[in-house]
Amino acid sequence: MRAVGFDVNGGPEVLRPVELPVPEPGPGQVLIRVAYAGVNYGEVQHRLGDFGPPDGITVPGMEVSGEIAALGDDVAGLALGDHVAAYLPDGGGYAEYAVAPADFAFPLDGISLRDGGGAALVLTTAYGVLAGAARLTAGDSVLIHAAAGGVGSAAAQIARALGAAAVHGTVRTPEKAEYAKRFGYDAVLLRDTFPADLAATGTEVDVVLDPVGGRTRLASLDVLAPFGRVVVYGDAAREPDLSLPVLPLWKQNRSLSGYNIGDLGRRAPSVVRGHALAALSLLASGAIRLDVTAELSLAAAFQAHHALEEGTSRGKVLLAIA
Ligand SMILES: NC(=O)c1ccc[n+]([C@@H]2O[C@H](COP(=O)([O-])OP(=O)(O)OC[C@H]3O[C@@H](n4cnc5c(N)ncnc54)[C@H](OP(=O)(O)O)[C@@H]3O)[C@@H](O)[C@H]2O)c1
């Protein structure tokens, strides 16, 4: 089968077409003939080496849509030919065929394969960050960094669907701020002027979603309302980690929490599944939508990575494979 992978860390050019055997599903797994693969910032960081060196040819891709082409032993509730969106904890999505745990292959009832291709990681993460880690409740106010990206644009809509009273965002450029308005933000600010712009309006928020890190993370603590929480779920800025004293959390009624789908999928797969199904039902009902802004061929995966790495992508970027 055709796939795209890398065997050395580096820039987008290390992604190259490879021919690999079609993988076989083991017990509790399904084989998917991939229609679309979502491209995610975590895959860019993986390629860059932030998560360590590759072990031989590594095929990235943590979410796909497609049809079930084979079932491993002990799989119930799925049948050959079913259209699914799947979260792939071990990657492998930039390929004609991919293996997924059956627990993380979600039927696409009323959702197109195209939308499904960018849903399983992105929507599950956005839902899990808000409902799980942030414990969002109706009436909360939310601030989302990287507001115009895949997870950010989904999180804005899911926050609203879960009853958030106000949803603010930050982005790097005025163009992205303009673009992000379509997701229902009350205001989208530039991160260069954060937190001064927000503080100037006297705004405090209950929840901050922070996949950026560094200075942005530190400043986020200062915009929390009493009992507010900053949820850490990425380090897109690739700045050094923070070293923070804990006593100020006590003195100022603040919380820091984290979300990691990989860890959650290993230790509490039913929670990941629950978040995925809840988010997909919001997509199927039209309460939220995915904004696919680019659809590239498998061979052009390096272009998608270039855009994500440069920070020029918006919404969701897909590879059209089948
Ligand atoms: N913890 C988890 O389980 C989990 C799961 C999925 C995704 N994530 C994280 O969620 C975040 C969003 O993922 P995504 O795939 O949807 O990506 P994305 O948001 O579509 O793209 C990455 C975003 O990072 C922001 N960014 C900040 N500093 C950057 C820099 N120096 N270079 C490039 N981009 C920078 C960009 O927004 P601006 O232009 O506004 O800065 C860009 O929108 C990522 O940090 C990812 O690692 C975490």
Mean of the pLDDT values across residues 189-204? 95
**Backbone CA torsion sign across 275, 142, 242, 307:** positive
**Confidence category of residue 294, pLDDT binned at 50, 70, 90:** very high
CATH assignment at residue 307? 3.90.180.10
Q: How far is the CA of 40 from the centre of ligand 1 (A)?
A: 8
Cβ(146) to ligand 1 under 6 A? yes
Q: Residue 86, Cβ neighbours under 10 Å: how many? A: 30
Instruction: Give the ligand 1 atom nearest the CA of 62.
Output: 6
Which protein residue's CA is at the shortest distance from atom 12 of ligand 1?
A: 151
| pLDDT attached to residue 264 | 98
Does residue 45 sit in the same domain as residue 113? Answer: yes
Residue of the nearest CA to atom 37 in ligand 1? Answer: 146
pLDDT for 198-218, tens place per residue?
999 999 999 999 999 999 999
DSSP conformational letter for 6: B
Neighbours of 26 (CB within 10 A): 11
Q: Both 107 and 127 in a single domain? A: no
Exposure of 80 by Cβ count < 10 A (0-12 exposed, 13-18 middle, 19+ buried)? exposed
Instruction: Please indicate, yes or no, if residue 272 is contained in any of the structural domains.
Output: no
What confidence tens digit (pLDDT) does each residue in 43-95 have? 999 999 999 999 999 999 999 999 999 999 999 999 999 999 999 999 999 99
For residue 39, give the H/E element and its range.
Answer: strand 29-39
Structure tokens at 211: 């996949």
Query: 40: Cβ below 6 Å to ligand 1?
Result: yes
| 161, 63: one domain | no
Query: Looking at the structure, do residues 111 and 132 belong to the same domain, yes or no?
Result: no
Mean pLDDT of all residues in 126-151: 98
Q: Which atom of ligand 1 is nearest to the CA of 314?
A: 20
By alpha-carbon position, which residue is closest to atom 28 of ligand 1?
A: 237
- Residue position matching structure tokens 């498998």: 298
Helix%, strand%, coil% for the chain, nearest 5: 35, 30, 40
Which amino acid is located at 37 in the chain? A
101 Cβ inside 6 Å of ligand 1: no
Instruction: Return phi, psi of residue 305, to 5°.
Output: -65, -40
Average pLDDT over residues 183-188: 97
What is the per-residue pLDDT for 168?
98
Question: Is the CB–ligand 1 distance for residue 125 below 6 Å?
Answer: yes
Where does the pLDDT of residue 303 fall: very low under 50, low under 70, confident under 90, or very high at 90 and above? very high
Q: Which residue has the tokens 């797969």?
A: 269
